[in-house]
Amino acid sequence: MSARALIFAANWKMNHGPGAAREYAQKFLALTAPAVDRSLWFFPPAVSLGALSKSLRTRPDASVGAQNVHWEPKGAFTGEVSIPMVMEVGARLVLVGHSERRQLFGETDEQVVRKTRAAIKAGVTPLVCVGETLTERESGRTEQVVLRQIGAVLQAIDGAAWTKVALAYEPVWAIGTGKNATPDDAAQIHEVIRMELGRKGVSVRVPILYGGSVNQENVGLLLTRPQIDGVLVGGASLDPKGWADLVERGSRAKVRPSGGYDLV
């Protein structure tokens, strides 16, 4: 697959079972043509991975990923799914450390590291999410929190492996709330993350997506910022027509850097 510079990631959360996923794909494919310089990533619920990856198989620009995985390949972990299992039904990506996993299910930095490491080892791309809560932002700790979360992964993953990692900055207070960080705020934190990667010797270009109440109206402005390499979208990705529209608007707004990523 050729390297693609711009990433649109849809996080369906606990929406769209296999039947709805198939229907979605049919509608979405009729509305968007493949473009060589962008990737479309879909994170459906685990039970819909197989149906969705099959429905999207004709599209080299589309990949599917799991919203969560366990780091062990198999074993006595009731209710969990492993990386080899999701790969078997077509996953090429995994979301790691989404704030809902961290906040609602107690996922720790240490677990995020284990999952990230296991994903890289298995050959799927982890999309690792970081971001501060409202309290943390209001007490001026945004950078500190984001750098702690990134730092845990930086410590555990060595330089070369970063060619297969993507990051998402998602301020927790912006997720599903209709409030989003301004393009300048987002760009500033992306810059902080990028500098930290550089300081820790990660020389490859790691894509950094922005997420948190991204919609058709604000995607264009966010993607005009060179620091923002794509978007991770929940609510506004659930309707195929709305998502196709968002992808087209975002694609028109973005000036692509030369080169791209070869992640999936």
Residue span binding ligand PGA (CB under 6 A) among the ranges 29-37, 112-120, 229-237, 239-247:
229-237
Q: How far apart are CA 196 and CA 147, in angstroms?
A: 8
Q: How far apart are CA 140 and CA 79, in angstroms?
A: 38
* The amino acid at 67: Q
By CB under 6 A, residue 235 contacts ligand PGA? yes
**Closest approach of ligand PGA to the CB of residue 75, in Å:** 29
Neighbours of 77 (CB within 10 A): 11
Tokens of 15: 């929406």
Q: 233, 244, 247, 263: which one contacts ligand PGA (CB under 6 A)?
A: 233
Interface pattern 162-201 for ligand PGA (x via CB under 6 A): --------x----xx-------------------------
Angle among Cα 213, 214, 215 to the nearest 5 degrees reads 110
**Closest approach of ligand PGA to the CB of residue 43, in Å:** 8
Q: How far apart are CA 54 and CA 181, in angstroms?
A: 35
Are 213 and 175 contacting, i.e. CB atoms less than 8 angstroms apart? Answer: yes
Scanning the structure block, which residue is given the tokens 């960080």? 181
Query: Of 98, 100, 107, 132, which residue is the catalytic one?
Result: 98
By CB under 6 A, residue 126 contacts ligand PGA? no
**Closest approach of ligand PGA to the CB of residue 125, in Å:** 16
Active site residues: 98, 170
Give residues in contact with ligand PGA (CB under 6 A).
11, 170, 175-176, 211-214, 232-236
